[in-house]
Amino acid sequence: MDTQDTHEQLAPCFAALRAELAGIDAPRCVEKELMQAFQQRFKPKRRWFQALSLPQWGTAGALCSLTVVVLLLARSPHQAVSVGGQPLVGFDGGAAFVALDSLERIAAEPDAQLVEAEVPRTVLAPLGVPLSPENAADTVRAEMLVAADGHPLAVRLSSAN
């Protein structure tokens, strides 16, 4: 017996079944409840990383990053590099020395001297001091660490005039 013959023999039976079932219709609430029950029963299991929503993962990441930054700051060295007892690069009253030469060169300098000077703002522009046409002629009070041969090793900006 061929499958084509089987389909032809069963076609009138299926047509009669369709005609009978066309008049029977389940209420909408029954269909909705059946679909919800099916979804509850065959719901896929959530993986471990799906337990948190996207905003919760973002908050957790931000807290972890903040914790890492705080731990790194707490464990970072706070000692200043010094030559002859004078700090060369370090924090002092909110201001910091900016090394103009390598730290090895600064540490190896035996007769470094601290000199106060008025430095034009245009000279300090490469160090990040803001410069505009209005303040280009101004000077900035600075403390400079100078080697015995007169070469500047480090600078600390005191205040702007």
Q: Tell me, what's the pLDDT at 68?
A: 92
pLDDT in tens, 25-40: 777 788 889 888 988 8
pLDDT in tens, 11-21: 999 999 888 88
**Helix and strand totals (H; E) in the chain:** 5, 8
Q: Tell me, what's the pLDDT at 59?
A: 92
Nearest Cα to Cα of residue 100 among 77, 128, 129, 127: 127
Task: Give the list of residues 6+ apart from residue 111 with CB closer than 8 angstroms, or none.
Answer: 147, 148
The pTM of this model reads 0.38
